[in-house]
Amino acid sequence: QKEVEQNSGPLSVPEGAIASLNCTYSDRVSQSFFWYRQYSGKSPELIMSIYSNGDKEDGRFTAQLNKASQYVSLLIRDSQPSDSATYLCAVRTPGTYKYIFGTGTRLKVLA
């Protein structure tokens, strides 16, 4: 089992819809979770971090964390074509500052 797993996609959604991206992780004691966005040919950039169970909202983005089920998700409301990118989930290894990234989910927002 991979440490951080994501569906590679592509996930296609129409413009204006909600895009839901999911990530599961294997280390039950993980505490720190991150979503990065990577446009094709570019470097990743942080969208959101989440540390506590529940939802965290930032503009059109909502991160959801469920530690009991070991998953973290990212919702993008009112999806725009400019949101088309690969979304990478990252989890910090407990007791370290080492981050494990998932393979990413490619999102395509159709105009």
Partner 1 sequence: GAGVSQSPSNKVTEKGKDVELRCDPISGHTALYWYRQRLGQGLEFLIYFQGNSAPDKSGLPSDRFSAERTGESVSTLTIQRTQQEDSAVYLCASSLIKSGTRKKGETQYFGPGTRLLVL
The contact set with partner 1 (CB under 8 A) reads: 6, 32, 34, 36, 42-46, 49, 51, 88, 90, 92, 96-104
Q: Which of 23, 38, 16, 42 is nearest to 109 (CA)?
A: 16
Residue with Cβ nearer partner 1 (21 or 92): 92
Distance CA 13, CA 20 (A): 9
Taking the complex as a whole, the smallest distance from the CB of residue 96 to partner 1 amounts, in Å, to 6
Taking the complex as a whole, the smallest distance from the CB of residue 16 to partner 1 amounts, in Å, to 28
- Using a 10 angstrom Cβ sphere, with 0-12 exposed, 13-18 middle and 19 or more buried, the burial of residue 110 is exposed
Residue with Cβ nearer partner 1 (32 or 70): 32
